[in-house]
Structure 1
Amino acid sequence: MASTSVSRVVPASPQKVWSLVGGFDTLPDWLPYILESTTLEGGRVRQLKNPDGEVIVERLVDFNETERHYSYAVVEAPFPVTGYVSTIRVHAVPGHEDLAEVQWSGRFAPVGVSDDEVVDLFTGIYRDGLDALHKTLSG
């Protein structure tokens, strides 16, 4: 099992950040890689579409409003992995009410590629996503 984690401090309060990223169906609001999100099964599953028209289906496996985090598993995706589970967390930055740290992490087993290749893939996705979140909150 391989894993990666990326974190980024963003210019908004933890509550403001969570109000943007904490909705399981809000990825198109801040992540340019996801153009469309449709919820299924009462909001526990999201069907995403990327710019190439590929479909990604993810299932919510854990959600904690108070601690500001959720985890999801990939059900279907064009990624060379199996057993993918990812978590997005929003943390307070001590002494800075107007900042938050967002951590996006995942674990997965590569299929047909090396650990390094999938770690690089998801590290890039998480880094680019958190950069886009920073830009959204700065604008």
Structure 2
Amino acid sequence: MASTSVSRIVPASPKQVWNLIGGFDALPDWLPYIPQSTALEGGRVRRLTNPDGDVIVERLVAFHEAERHYSYAILEAPFPVTGYVSTLRVHAVDGQDGVAEVQWSGRFTPDGATDAEAEELFAGIYHDGLEALHQALSA
């Protein structure tokens, strides 16, 4: 099993960040490469569409409001992995009320790719996503 994790300090309090990203169906609010998200099964599943029309279906597997994190599994996607589970987490930064650290991590089994290729793919997705979040919070 392969894994990767990316974190980023963003210019907003943990509460402000969580208010933006904490909804399982909120990706289009801050992630430009996911312009559409449709909530299914009472909000426990999201059907995402990227600008190329690719569909990604994900199921919420854990959610903790007070600790500001959720985890999800990919059910359907054009990625060369199986068994994908990811967590998006918001942390306070000691002594800095106006910033937060956001961590996006995942574990998966490559399928048709090497561990390094799959890890690089998701590290890039997470990095670009957290950069987009930083820009959204800086606007």
Name the TM tier (shorter chain): over 0.9
Partner residue, 1:13 = 13
- Partner Cα separation in structure 2 for residue 16 and residue 98 of structure 1: 9
Partner residue, 1:34 = 34
Q: Which amino acid in 1 is paired with 2:7?
A: S
Compute the displacement of 1:112 (Å).
1.1
SS in 2 for 1:100: strand
SS in 2 for 1:15: helix
Partner residue, 1:53 = 53
TM-score (norm 1): 0.99
Identity %: 73
Listed as ranges, the matches of 1:52-131 within 5 Å are: 52-131=52-131
What's the RMSD between the two structures over aligned residues? 0.3
After the TM superposition, which parts of structure 1 deviate over 3 Å for at least 4 consecutive aligned residues?
A: none
SS in 1 for 2:113: coil
TM-score (norm 2): 0.99
Compute the displacement of 1:63 (Å).
0.1
Structure 1, unaligned stretches of length 5 or more?
A: none
